[in-house]
Copies of this chain bind each other. A is one copy, B any other.
Amino acid sequence: MIEHMGKRAKYALRESIHKTSEEIDGALMKMAQGIRDNQDVILKANAEDMRLAHESGMNKAMQDRLLLTPERVEGMARGLEATAKLPSPLNKVLWEREIREGLVAKKVSVPLGVIGFIYESRPNVSAEAGGLCFKAGNSVILKGGKEAFYSNRSIVDSLRASMKESGFSQDLIQLVTDNSREVTRELMMATEWIDVLIPRGGPGLIKSVLENARVPVIETGIGNCHIYVDAEADLLKAVPIIVNAKMQRPSVCNAVETLLVHQDVAGEFLPKVREALSGVELRGCKKTVKILPDIQEASMEDFATEFADLILAIKVLGSVDEAIEHIREYGSGHSDSILTENRNHASKFTREVDSAVVYVNASTRFTDGGEFGFGGEIGISTQKLHARGPMGLEELTSNKYILEGKGHTR
């Protein structure tokens, strides 16, 4: 099955290579309108997924992620329009040099090729990921979660119909409709057809793809994020930052999971932050519990966990070095922040913390392609190869060198 889809994906890619960025953007606008026109069909398909989710006893948070509403459908359409309006990442001359007299070398951005995108739950990701991969000139094979099967299928059908109307091959966006493990395994092994796999979802999904794929993978999204409140922090600024990072949207990967506090300010600061974090379960180290005696003691496990919930681990420590060491030990390389007015501490932290995004005096919640102005994102890379941090259109391209000579020999 994947071989069949892979061949079609490659063939579609070949056909689309002469399309202009205006044609691509026109197709994206049509895809947006198509999603609007098909709102009823999409909502009906989603209702079927919701019915099955309810029957299977899926928890409320998961059900909320799965649910589509007219507003969320409109959101997908607007996302596609926004993608259409972004500058094309293709055919950019990234570097140029005359390497011999009359022999000019250019490095030009080109599509990555065939992208395998494996994701969970939120069906609107189908439109977002499909649109971004398409805009960057790629062919994408989408493999959504089985809980969103009907929703994903109706969305992808709509996208494909609009692409066809716009003169593109439908096979630039394909959805795997077989949910068996065997097909997922095939997808992960299909080095002949797929240039890169991007998993987006929970730690279980990411880990499974990393361990089983032979196709190159871009690791995304596990976010065990930290905020360190330095002895020289402005404590008035610190409280709202922590509230924002923990409470605004606790389920996302850029939410803070562990608060590190310098011992010199812990006595003053921790009671304040507890008051502000009402509704958040706190789990603290021994020193924290001395200051906040009624909270639970944190285990090593707690410091290693991405709660993705209204839970916060707290550790009191003695220096910026100890904070860096803790993050090195427990962090996932996603987003970490220092709150301090001391420039040396700030620059030590940004230099030594080896994470995709490092902050000074700001909430970790800004780690997001939209916030960075990338116009959406395909995921947040926590690895160092190819892309690190929020991945937008540029990260969905590769490059090619083109050398034009006049009979040059070496």
Where the two chains meet, the residues of A that have a C-beta atom closer than 8 Å to any C-beta of B are: 14, 17-18, 97, 99-100, 103, 105, 107, 112-113, 191, 195-196, 210-211, 214, 216-218, 234, 237, 240-241, 243-245, 248, 346, 350-352, 354-363, 365-367, 371-373, 383-386, 388-389, 398-410
Contact B372 A99 (CB under 8 A): yes
Query: Which residue of chain B lies nearest to A409 when distances are taken between CB atoms in the complex?
Result: B244
Decide: A103 and B404 in contact? CB cutoff 8 A. no
Contact of A352 among B14, B191, B409 (CB under 8 A): B14
Shortest beta-carbon distance, A244 to chain B, in Å? 4
With both beta carbons as reference points, the residue of chain B lying nearest to A216 in the complex is identified as B385
Interchain CA distance A385-B367 in the complex, whole Å: 23
Q: Which residues of B contact A388 (CB under 8 A)?
A: 398-401
Nearest CB in chain B: distance from A408 CB, A: 4
A356 touches B400 (CB 8 A): yes
Residues from chain B with a CB closer than 8 A to the CB of A363 are 408-410
In the complex, chain B residues whose CB is within 8 Å of the CB of A404: 346, 350, 359-362
State how many angstroms separate the Cβ of A283 from the closest Cβ of chain B.
23
**Additional 20 contacts, C-beta under 8 A, given A354-B400, A359-B402, A362-B409:** A99-B372, A99-B373, A107-B389, A195-B383, A240-B407, A241-B409, A248-B409, A350-B404, A355-B400, A357-B401, A358-B400, A359-B404, A359-B405, A360-B404, A362-B404, A362-B407, A362-B408, A363-B409, A365-B409, A366-B403
Contact A196 B384 (CB under 8 A): yes
A359 to B195, CA, bound (A): 23
- When the two chains form their complex, are residues A366 and B196 in contact, meaning their CB atoms are under 8 A apart? no
Bound together, the chains give a CA A185 to CA B399 distance in angstroms of 31
Shortest Cβ-Cβ A-B pairs, 5 listed: A362-B405, A237-B407, A244-B409, A384-B398, A386-B386
Check B403 against A196 for contact (C-beta < 8 Å).
no
Question: Could you tell me the dominant secondary structure of chain A's interface residues?
Answer: mixed
| Chain B positions within 8 Å of A14 at CB level | 352
In the assembled complex, the Cα of A371 lies from the Cα of B97 at a distance in Å of 11
**Residue on B nearest A212 in the bound complex, by CB:** B214
A398 to B139, CA, bound (A): 26
Residues of B within 8 A of A361 (CB): 404-408
Q: Which residues of B contact A389 (CB under 8 A)?
A: 107, 399-401
Whether B237 contacts A359 by the Cβ 8 Å rule is no
**A265: min CB distance to chain B, Å:** 16
Contact A385 B366, beta carbon cutoff 8 Å: no
Residue of B nearest to A243 (CB): B409
- Across the interface, do B350 and A402 meet the contact criterion of CB distance under 8 Å? yes
Contact residue among B234, B346, B354, B371 (Cβ-Cβ distance under 8 Å from A99)? B371
* Neighbouring B residues of A354 by C-beta, 8 Å: 113, 400
- Are A384 and B113 also in contact (CB < 8 A) when A361-B407, A362-B404, A409-B244 are? yes
Cα–Cα distance between A196 and B217 once the two chains are bound (Å): 12
Contact indicator A360/B244 (Cβ below 8 Å): no
- Interchain CB contact under 8 A, B407 and A366: no
Chain B residues lying within 8 Å of A399, measured Cβ to Cβ, are: 388-389
Residues of B near A243 (CB, < 8 A) are 409
Q: A99-B373, A407-B362 are in contact. Are A196 and B385 (CB under 8 A)?
A: yes
Task: Say yes or no: B99 contacts A17, CB within 8 Å.
Answer: no
